[in-house]
A and B are shown apart, each in its own frame.
Chain A
């Protein structure tokens, strides 16, 4: 069964910093990995989906990488802004039904 871990659990940075969020998974036989953002009391917003055939995926200031062999994915946020403050979750599927296993999330605070 898939297990997903996210480090760090919480992160506080000043505005403008570049930062990296880490995600590790135990079963490397995945077709894709997805990163989400969750604001307090809200649902999940899909940020990036990385297919197993890709190594990187970019959307604006966000860049996600995937290394299946090492069981790791990273989410890079460039020039962080206070509006980036949220919890970031990564999720990997664990069988053909594409049920997602989630990490515990990284709670990010960007201070003005």
Chain B
């Protein structure tokens, strides 16, 4: 089955620790995105990538980093510089072009302990 896989489903981070969230897609999509969702709020864009080895900051990139070494993979690292990382993180992918439908993974819930 084609789709987007995020792992892990739940992640706990200690203060001062970096953690990496995985996102893999087998839809052959060029574009991939990371969003953050806080309780009762809409989604906010963290980073996006339209092609391998290239990525751009979104609206709330501070404290996060990404890489795009393969078309299928777009991991997100939450660094210790992110002061309020507890949130629900969603990865998405889409074809390039003007008319494009975005597909989402099932999310990773990150909690600071």
Whether, in the assembled complex, A41 has its beta carbon less than 8 Å from a beta carbon of chain B, the answer is yes
Whether, in the assembled complex, A75 has its beta carbon less than 8 Å from a beta carbon of chain B, the answer is no
Q: Kindly identify which residue among A41, A42, A45, A98 contacts B31, using a CB–CB cutoff of 8 Å.
A: A98
Given contacts A97-B31, A99-B33, A103-B42, contact A49 B101 (CB under 8 A): yes
A65 CB to closest chain B CB (Å) equals: 17
Chain A interface category by residue count: 20 to 34
For A10-54 the 0/1 string (1 means CB < 8 A from B) is 000000000000000000000110101000011111100101000
Whether, in the assembled complex, A100 has its beta carbon less than 8 Å from a beta carbon of chain B, the answer is yes
Whether, in the assembled complex, B19 has its beta carbon less than 8 Å from a beta carbon of chain A, the answer is no
Chain B interface category by residue count: 20 to 34
Whether, in the assembled complex, B60 has its beta carbon less than 8 Å from a beta carbon of chain A, the answer is no
Q: In the bound complex, do residue A46 and residue B42 qualify as a contact, i.e. CB atoms below 8 Å apart? A: no
Whether, in the assembled complex, B105 has its beta carbon less than 8 Å from a beta carbon of chain A, the answer is yes
Whether, in the assembled complex, B43 has its beta carbon less than 8 Å from a beta carbon of chain A, the answer is yes
A45 CB to closest chain B CB (Å) equals: 8
Q: Kindly identify which residue among A4, A31, A91 contacts B102, using a CB–CB cutoff of 8 Å.
A: A91
Report B's interface with A, CB cutoff 8 A.
6, 31, 33, 35, 40-45, 48, 50, 56, 58, 88, 90, 92, 94, 96-107, 109
Report A's interface with B, CB cutoff 8 A.
4, 31-32, 34, 36, 41-46, 49, 51, 89, 91, 97-100, 102-105
